[in-house]
Amino acid sequence: MIKLHGLHFDEFISEDKLKQAIEEVANKINEDYDGKEPLFLVVLNGAFKFATELLSRFNGDCEIEFLKLSSYDGTSSTGEVMTHIPIDADLEDREVIIIEDIVDSGNTIEKLTEMMVSGGVKNYRFASLFFKPEAYSKEYKIHYVGLEIPNDFIVGYGLDYNGLGRNLNAIYKLKNTKMTNLVLFGPPGAGKGTQASFLKEKYNLIHISTGDVFRYNIKNATELGMLAKSYMDKGQLVPDTVTIDMLSAEVDKNADANGFIFDGFPRTIAQAEALDTLLSDKNTQVSAMIALEVDDEILVQRLLERGKTSGRKDDADETVIRKRIKVYYDETAILKGYYQKQDKYFGVDGVGEVTEITARLSKTIDTL
């Protein structure tokens, strides 16, 4: 397994299998172009390794030209093909073989076909190392195909993920990360911390408490911790970007985890959107926002009872307790709507024995 820009990739196709596929493509081209002098048009950047191996196996004379197109941003196609380096050769009445790294949607093939037609070529054919039949939506024929593959994102042998991976001699497939990621909420006194402990053990999840993450970074004087402290020392709120970077670092530390319980974050729509982006970049997403629901009066009584032994002043003052509860609902109401629109909000009865509440939470999680 390799890691590029925080994403994990598993080996998918070995170098030996790639070389065998290229050899077979070269044999077909040699047979079809025996005695001819074709122009090989190499599409950069992805096809450079394929082209190097393929052209070294071509038996006749030929010309080689390059052009550069792009349609990918990150791990997905933009649907728009951009020309960065145009064709610098006279195509009229030429025999052209276009060397591509991979054909998926077919948008690039369509663009190249338009170039060939407008250039007045005598004959043109496509040679691609990879072809994704599930993703292909065009009717243009791909004449030479090394390997047909599923519609997965791959890197290596010229193909990249945001600039990395082209130099790899094997092909790696984006790891299909199926995580259970929970945003756990509950008003003061709902027992959120207790339930988080049970859930992380039962489902083998990583519990990320924003408060704990802040304390760790500040205590250990990490770069992010020092940055956060600089804002706190001025009495300013720590920017969301700093918090997100801290959470991202925690996720990266546990890239092979079954999932995460996010405790204390997000608190705003902007933070929720930032968390969605963070997880999307890691090839996963929030599975659910789960909120423990407890009547206010029960919460007040729980906290007052806890205040007798906890030593916390905010557990001993009923007025303070009620303000804390109100702040929670003011914050959560907005997020509740955000996750309801995604069908990801789940309210769970937080009254009863600890084991009963755990069972209710588990029942909800098991349906995800």
Distance of CA 339 to the CA centre of its chain: 20
Alpha-carbon span 262 to 224, nearest angstrom: 19
Alpha-carbon span 33 to 339, nearest angstrom: 59
Distance of CA 16 to the CA centre of its chain: 29
Contact 195, 82 (CB under 8 A): no
Q: Is 127 exposed, middle or buried (0-12, 13-18, 19+ CB in 10 A)?
A: buried
- Short-list 353, 182, 173, CA closest to 258: 182
Handedness of CA 176, 285, 135, 146 (dihedral sign): negative
Rg of the chain (C-alpha set): 28
CA atoms within 13 A on the CB side of 25: 30
Alpha-carbon span 12 to 66, nearest angstrom: 28
Who contacts 219 (Cβ-Cβ below 8 Å, separation ≥6)?
225
Residues involved in catalysis: 192, 267, 306, 312, 324
